[in-house]
Amino acid sequence: MECKVTWMGNDGMSFVAQTGSGHLVAMDGAPEGGGHNLAPRPMEMVLLGTGGCTAYDVVLILKRGRHDVRGCSVTLQADRAAQDPKVFTRIHFKFTVTGRNLNPATVERAVQLSHDKYCSASIMLAKTAEISHSVELVEV
């Protein structure tokens, strides 16, 4: 896996990243850090990438089990250390899974498998952060 991050010039703290799969992502800093608030912060990208990684796992596990999953979202709430390096110290994942006749234990197991075995991002972040999760099921 490879990506390239390029600073957009001396008039701020904006960067463009190009992924190995050919996609572009913009990042920017907060105004107090010299940025213009035009795009997500790099650490927000870490958090949203982790949410995408675990949501992907949960949907894939449920679909492979032939469960009637119709939707999945995860809201992440995180705290960071006050001093540099400002690593994540706590992350709570709130999953909302929509479907028909979903078994709560099955969905909980999919979430747990993601966090314990499959989601590289949350497993890495668990080295510095206390990880917790909750699950809400919505019947459609």
Q: Give the pLDDT score at 105.
A: 98
67-91 pLDDT, tens per residue? Answer: 999 999 999 999 999 999 999 999 9
45-74 pLDDT, tens per residue? Answer: 999 999 999 999 999 999 999 999 999 999
- Overall average pLDDT of the 38-43 stretch: 96
Q: Give the pLDDT score at 10.
A: 82
Q: Which CATH superfamily is domain 42-139 in?
A: K homology (KH) domain (3.30.300.20)
In contact, 54 and 115? CB cutoff 8 Å: yes
Mean pLDDT score of the chain: 97
How many residues would you count in the chain?
Answer: 140
Task: Report residue 134 as tokens.
Answer: 């909750």
Q: Give the pLDDT score at 111.
A: 98
Q: Domains of the chain: which residue ranges?
A: 3-33, 42-139
CA dist 48 and 85 (Å) reads 19
Cα-Cα-Cα-Cα torsion 88, 23, 75, 41, nearest 10 degrees, comes to 40
94-126 pLDDT, tens per residue? Answer: 999 999 999 999 999 999 999 999 999 999 999
Crossing angle for the helix pair 104-113 and 42-64, to the nearest 10 degrees: 130
DSSP-derived secondary structure letter, 41: -
